Chain A
């Protein structure tokens, strides 16, 4: 006999009542704001040579200059928005496609399930980065291809998780009832099952977003992602790592930003996961 709890609150509001979520959101939003508003705040044109290469910190350029004499702060402020936008688009694509495929497989079972999931297994056999390298070495660095590859890499992984979540929901009587009411598979997947796996879906989204950031920054670092002269955090790392002991800022700033947004996103997803599993729940009153 469970005591009746008070009015139900949405997942987001439940998560927002925890410090984990608030701190995570604060960190994530701060980094995202810096990246998005950065180009407007940059004191110099990031592509202009303002001084000597690897010049130390100075009044005019608070974090010194990079290997070509660009202002590090301006480079940093201008180098985040594209990375985050690409990562966001790739994640939307991958998580969206993966969720639909996974839920469909979990609801339909049988042959549809086998076909979808085994195709996913084939894709899972290739490490995400290797797959991306393979395609980009053929097509050349192209932003649309990067987004597509990021999504393609995530989709089977997300499908796995969402299929697992959908399996238990699909067994529940309200789904059987929907079938007995003559609803089509599309309606059942979108209206009956999907809203009931929103917890794991939110968690997957946050998790995959951090992976996307890492993947795209990694590609740029390898010279296969964002191309110069467009400033980019991944590119900054690669260009300036040789002089790390002399001029650490062009490496430290992007690393710090990527680390912070990853930690922030992980706190957010963790809070969402705990809220959807009801871990911190108390008797309402």
Chain B
């Protein structure tokens, strides 16, 4: 079996306008090797992944180039026969990729050719490879009866069971806990090597890619920015975009601080002239806007699309985590808090103090109860027992019973900016509606909104826009502006960067730190991301199964974690130092 994948000059176009969403992409993956495909949202990663299966989304078409896997050519005519047998796909969200009304056994057997000589044997082997039970009881379960990690391993088993030559993995560990992620990545790596399969690993998580793949392709606005061996691209990136992208990744050791890239990846429909990155590039020259640079060899096997490869990168001024005196007064204190959903208690006896002007990270994996705790503090989820004191006064348990003044002082920013802003209000209207409700009619609404936008580092013209005209990062800044406009004292940030690109995440973190200092804001930063905690918080509370197992200063906690759970989290987090 030869699973070498050869892609040359792949072009995917939008049918209506003829714009190339993916433009002239070529690469080769030898059998048994992994290629990592990284880039920001909208750079065309998934479009390439789907094109490798001979598939183009509605309204787009594969318009040029050739894709071959071993001796097979992937074309519109052959794709249907090749899928599953020669090429397979592991999707981002296993929960929606598995058919909820099929038992696991049927789910897996569906992926085998009808004339397979030994389906039972293949099934057992496939499950063993992904370290799942093979007994009849497990196989007769439905997808909702197994955990998210198990679901993802089922999709991996489905992809490998028919022994394909080439696999596309589209962000398969997004949404998984670090420990589960590590198991899944090890499984993928082992299977690829054992079966001589070539694979593309699509991810926005640069740290995961750095620890997994053999070669890295950095994609920007549908074009290859840089392509080379993992170590070379990750540790000595040549393209200024790769350099900035890697600089934006938070480092779990805390030796280097994340640094964002201003602006967002351009849509293929509004690509700047010349090099698409030049408006955001820190070493751009006038020539950069004139012609699209050619992809050139910087070293054998290392391609880069930049005319200023030799120019050294400017040194960045890393911001520092603000110091908070140990004797700062307590702003909020939670005592013996318990929250239940029906008979299921998700938070047990939570005690938590937040110091004024400090940033406390609330760290936990999915299901640990961290969002429930944050919501209980904000009054969005009524606790069964316990007290929440704010500035020495007990807060009523629900927003309905809190006074407007109490509501104003504690602001909550939601995880998903696509859900937390009313799509039918303009930004101006969104910002003002909250202010009107909590603070009354403003004297000068325009000035107020403009100030809030400036505080959240947004352009003034955003006020007239509607949410669907904004990028994810801009939306999250609007949510921040909506909180800032009422001058809160405590800002609860619930996983606010988890749906954003690393480049955007880094700039949001920078913004929050500036605000923390300039307005002496107190932050409660809820996250599952260890590396991010290291770079934003002064102290960390670790939540496991609804209990706080450890609460300590960030330096002390990372140097000597006392709870076994914290130790495991730190161990399983992919380390990455550029």
Residues of chain A having any CB pair with chain B under 8 Å: 1, 3-8, 172-174, 176-183, 187, 191-192, 195-196, 198, 282-285
Contact between chains at B416 and A283 (CB < 8 Å): no
Taking residues whose C-beta sits less than 8 angstroms from the other chain, chain B's interface range is 35 or more
Contact between chains at B438 and A182 (CB < 8 Å): yes
**Contact pick for A283, options B59, B379, B433, B434, CB 8 Å:** B59
Question: A1-B41, A195-B422, A283-B60 are contacts. A180–B267 as well, Cβ < 8 Å?
Answer: no
Interface residues of B in 388-444 (CB under 8 A from A): 399-400, 402, 404, 407-408, 411-412, 414-416, 419-425, 433-434, 437-438
Nearest residue, chain B, Cβ from A185: B400
CA distance A94 to B58 in the complex (A): 39
Contact between chains at A285 and B423 (CB < 8 Å): no
CA distance A196 to B268 in the complex (A): 29
Contact between chains at A284 and B269 (CB < 8 Å): yes
CB distance from B221 to the nearest CB of A (A): 11
Contacts of A178 in B (CB 8 A): 422, 433-434, 437
**Contact pick for B19, options A172, A195, A285, CB 8 Å:** A285
CB distance from B117 to the nearest CB of A (A): 40
CB distance from B30 to the nearest CB of A (A): 27
Contact between chains at A180 and B404 (CB < 8 Å): no
Interface 1/0 per residue, B1-29 and A, CB below 8 Å: 00000000000001111110100000000
Contact between chains at B16 and A183 (CB < 8 Å): no
Interface 1/0 per residue, B172-185 and A, CB below 8 Å: 00000000000000
**Contact pick for A182, options B14, B47, B399, CB 8 Å:** B399
**Contact pick for A285, options B14, B411, B433, CB 8 Å:** B14
Contact between chains at B42 and A283 (CB < 8 Å): no
CB distance from B272 to the nearest CB of A (A): 15
Nearest residue, chain A, Cβ from B407: A182
Besides the contacts A179-B399, A283-B16, what 12 more A-B pairs have beta carbons closer than 8 Å? A3-B267, A174-B422, A176-B380, A177-B482, A179-B400, A180-B411, A181-B407, A187-B437, A191-B425, A198-B424, A283-B58, A284-B16
Contact between chains at B419 and A173 (CB < 8 Å): yes
Q: Does B468 contact A (CB under 8 A)?
A: yes
Q: Does B68 contact A (CB under 8 A)?
A: no
Contacts of B42 in A (CB 8 A): 1, 3-4
Q: Does B57 contact A (CB under 8 A)?
A: yes
CA distance A32 to B263 in the complex (A): 52
Contacts of B424 in A (CB 8 A): 195-196, 198
Contact between chains at B16 and A180 (CB < 8 Å): no
Nearest residue, chain B, Cβ from A195: B424
Interface-central residue, A1, A5, A176, A179, by most chain B CB under 10 Å:
A1
Contact between chains at B471 and A183 (CB < 8 Å): no
CB distance from A16 to the nearest CB of B (A): 17
CA distance A1 to B14 in the complex (A): 16
Contacts of B60 in A (CB 8 A): 283
CB distance from B40 to the nearest CB of A (A): 9
Nearest residue, chain B, Cβ from A176: B380
Contacts of B135 in A (CB 8 A): none
| 28 A–B pairs (Cβ distance < 8 Å), ordered by A | A1-B46, A3-B21, A3-B267, A3-B268, A8-B466, A173-B420, A174-B422, A176-B380, A177-B414, A178-B422, A178-B434, A180-B378, A180-B379, A180-B380, A180-B399, A180-B412, A181-B486, A182-B437, A183-B437, A187-B437, A191-B433, A195-B424, A282-B58, A283-B15, A283-B57, A283-B60, A284-B269, A285-B14
Contacts of B416 in A (CB 8 A): 173
Contacts of A176 in B (CB 8 A): 380, 414
Contacts of B17 in A (CB 8 A): 285
Contacts of A177 in B (CB 8 A): 412, 414, 420, 434, 482
Interface 1/0 per residue, B459-489 and A, CB below 8 Å: 0000000101101000000000010001000
Contact between chains at B59 and A282 (CB < 8 Å): yes
The B interface, classified by DSSP as helix, strand, loop or mixed, is loop
Contacts of B41 in A (CB 8 A): 1
Q: Top 9 closest A-B pairs, CB basis?
A: A285-B17, A283-B59, A195-B424, A173-B420, A282-B59, A173-B414, A181-B434, A285-B14, A173-B419
Contacts of B434 in A (CB 8 A): 177-178, 181
Q: Does B163 contact A (CB under 8 A)?
A: no
Question: A196-B423, A283-B59, A284-B16 are contacts. A182–B414 as well, Cβ < 8 Å?
Answer: no
Contacts of A5 in B (CB 8 A): 468
CA distance A13 to B468 in the complex (A): 16
Nearest residue, chain B, Cβ from A174: B422
Contacts of A181 in B (CB 8 A): 407, 433-434, 437-438, 486
Contact between chains at A7 and B469 (CB < 8 Å): yes
Contact between chains at B420 and A180 (CB < 8 Å): no
Interface-central residue, A182, A183, A282, by most chain B CB under 10 Å:
A182
CA distance A172 to B414 in the complex (A): 10
Contacts of B18 in A (CB 8 A): 285
Contact between chains at B15 and A282 (CB < 8 Å): yes
CB distance from B483 to the nearest CB of A (A): 9
Contacts of A195 in B (CB 8 A): 422, 424-425
Q: Does B355 contact A (CB under 8 A)?
A: no
Contacts of A282 in B (CB 8 A): 15-16, 58-59
Contact between chains at B469 and A8 (CB < 8 Å): yes
Contacts of B380 in A (CB 8 A): 176, 179-180
Nearest residue, chain A, Cβ from B470: A4
Nearest residue, chain B, Cβ from A3: B42
Q: Does B223 contact A (CB under 8 A)?
A: no
CB distance from B205 to the nearest CB of A (A): 13
**Contact pick for B468, options A8, A172, A174, CB 8 Å:** A8
Q: Does B257 contact A (CB under 8 A)?
A: no
Contacts of B267 in A (CB 8 A): 3-4
CA distance A180 to B45 in the complex (A): 38
CA distance A192 to B433 in the complex (A): 10
Contacts of B408 in A (CB 8 A): 182
Contact between chains at B15 and A174 (CB < 8 Å): no
Nearest residue, chain A, Cβ from B380: A176
Question: A1-B41, A191-B433, A196-B423 are contacts. A285–B469 as well, Cβ < 8 Å?
Answer: no
**Contact pick for B419, options A4, A172, A179, A191, CB 8 Å:** A172
